[in-house]
């Protein structure tokens, strides 16, 4: 069953087109990474999903309900962390967490205390004194302390230190294990790689690629570093081979992943001494779209 369904959504601000026919799906129990550079339209898409902005064209639904008309009903089952967490300067972190949890109903005191401890947050401090990371922790504690079926997280770790980032990853793993769905917008690719089943890449308001990491990797190049007894013939002429670099320790190049098998059988004629193959990182995947 699809939890989130974005169907040809276009959003214009005056003459500026922020989103152009965006499609996005998230299935039950899935963690979906939503990646793209700053200003690509990640936050706009998420704000439309949260019913904060109205789509100019197209439709979007969560749990099969329209995100604009049934926002309040939908939000009872959603936990959300905005990208830019701005809090009330004269309220304490603890007060804000309580307010947020109460507004969704379903209060779980033990989980709140546990999360505050794990995220190492001082709930007695006024929000005015919190750093960006600490404000994000407030939003994260409020999100994970509430019972939800879907977690929508907009760049939730951009201000967290590595220690807190791993606490965050644990939290996502926990909700995933419990069968919940997560939409995680991020530009920290290692995090997406670690947590997500599927990835959608957005650029200038358009989804330019989406699928499982495996599928996406298939479309890209694998890095090979190889040493053979005799020089490999025909490598430079092979159209699937790119960026050849020779060094005393052997030869390094990248190859279109779909042609990997054919190339290896070709190379085996020249007596392979050592062979190292590295699958493309999400980073390379990502960069390829922006070259």
Partner 1 sequence: MTDNLFAGSSKLTRFILRRDRILIIIWLAGIVGFTVFCGPLFNNLYKTDLERLVMAETMRNPAMIAMVGPVYGIDNYTTGALFSNMMLEFMAIIAAVMNIFFVTRHTRQDEESGRMEVIRSLPVGRLSNLTATMLAVLLVNVIMAVLTGLGLAAFGIDGMDFAGSMFFGGVMGITGLFFAAATALFCQLTANNRTASGFSFIFLMFLYLLRAAGDLGTEALSLLSPLGLILRAEVYVNNCVWPILALLGITILVTALALYLAKIRDLGTGLLPDRPGKANAARLLSSPLGLAFRLLKTSIFVWAAAIFIFAAMYGSIFGDLESFISSNDMLKAIFAQNSEFSFVEQFIVLLMAIMSMLSTIPVLSFMQRVRGEEKLGRTEHLLSRSVSRSRQFAAYFIIASIMGAVLMLLTALGFWSVGSITLDTAPSLGTFVEAAMAYLPAIWVMLGCSMILIAYLPDKTFISYIYLGYSFFSVYIGSIAQLPEWIKKLTPFGHIPQIPVEEMDVFSLVVLIVIAVLLFVLSFAGYSKRDMQM
Q: Choose the stretch contacting partner 1; rule: CB under 8 A; options: 71-79, 182-190, 220-228, 253-261.
A: 71-79
From residue 23 to residue 52, the character string flagging contacts with partner 1 as x (rule: CB under 8 A) and all else as - is ------------------------x--xxx
From residue 123 to residue 152, the character string flagging contacts with partner 1 as x (rule: CB under 8 A) and all else as - is xxxx-xx---------x-------------
Helices within 50-146 (DSSP H only): 71-75, 93-104, 109-118, 132-144
Chain-centre distance of CA 265, in angstroms?
A: 36
Which one, 42 or 221, has the nearer CB to partner 1? Answer: 42
Q: Which residues contact 156 (CB under 8 A, 6 or more apart)?
A: 81, 136, 139, 140, 168, 184, 186
Q: Choose the stretch contacting partner 1; rule: CB under 8 A; options: 87-95, 182-190, 198-206, 258-266.
A: 87-95
The length of the chain, given as a count of residues:
291
Size of site (CB under 8 A) for partner 1: 40
Minimum Å gap between C-beta 125 and partner 1 is 7
Classify 149 as helix, strand or coil.
Answer: coil
60 lies in the binding site for partner 1 (CB under 8 A): no
Q: Which residues contact 122 (CB under 8 A, 6 or more apart)?
A: 93
CB 109 within 8 Å of CB 97: no
CB 224 within 8 Å of CB 274: no
Which one, 72 or 236, has the nearer CB to partner 1? Answer: 72
Chain residues that interact with partner 1, rule: CB under 8 A: 47, 50-54, 71-73, 75-76, 78, 80, 82, 84, 86-92, 94-100, 102-105, 123-126, 128-129, 139
């Amino acid at each position: 069953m699809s939890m989130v369904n974005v169907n040809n959504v276009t959003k214009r601000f005056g003459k500026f087109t922020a989103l152009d026919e965006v499609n996005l799906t998230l299935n039950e129990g899935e963690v979906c990474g939503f990646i793209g550079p700053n200003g690509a339209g990640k936050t706009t898409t998420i704000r439309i999903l949260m019913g904060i902005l109205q789509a100019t064209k197209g439709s979007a639904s969560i749990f099969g309900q329209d995100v604009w008309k049934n926002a309040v009903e939908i939000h009872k089952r959603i936990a959300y962390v905005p990208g830019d967490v701005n809090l009330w300067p004269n309220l304490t972190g603890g007060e804000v967490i309580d307010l947020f949890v109460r507004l969704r109903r379903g209060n779980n005191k033990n989980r709140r205390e546990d999360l505050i401890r794990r995220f190492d947050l001082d709930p007695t401090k006024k929000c005015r004194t919190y750093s960006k990371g600490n404000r994000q922790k407030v939003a994260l504690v409020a999100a994970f302390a509430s019972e939800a079926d879907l977690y929508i997280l907009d760049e939730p770790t951009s201000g967290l230190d590595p220690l807190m980032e791993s606490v965050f990853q644990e939290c996502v793993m926990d909700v995933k294990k419990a069968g919940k769905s997560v939409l995680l917008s991020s530009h920290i690719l290692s995090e997406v790689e670690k947590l997500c089943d599927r990835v959608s890449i957005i650029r200038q308001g358009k989804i330019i690629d989406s699928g499982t990491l495996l599928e996406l990797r298939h479309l890209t190049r694998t890095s090979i570093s190889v040493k053979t007894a005799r020089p490999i013939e025909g490598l430079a002429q092979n159209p699937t081979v790119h960026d050849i670099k020779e060094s005393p320790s052997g030869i390094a190049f990248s190859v279109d992943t779909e042609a990997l098998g054919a190339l290896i059988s070709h190379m085996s004629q020249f007596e392979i001494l050592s062979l190292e193959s590295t699958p493309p990182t999400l980073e390379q995947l990502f960069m390829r779209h922006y070259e």
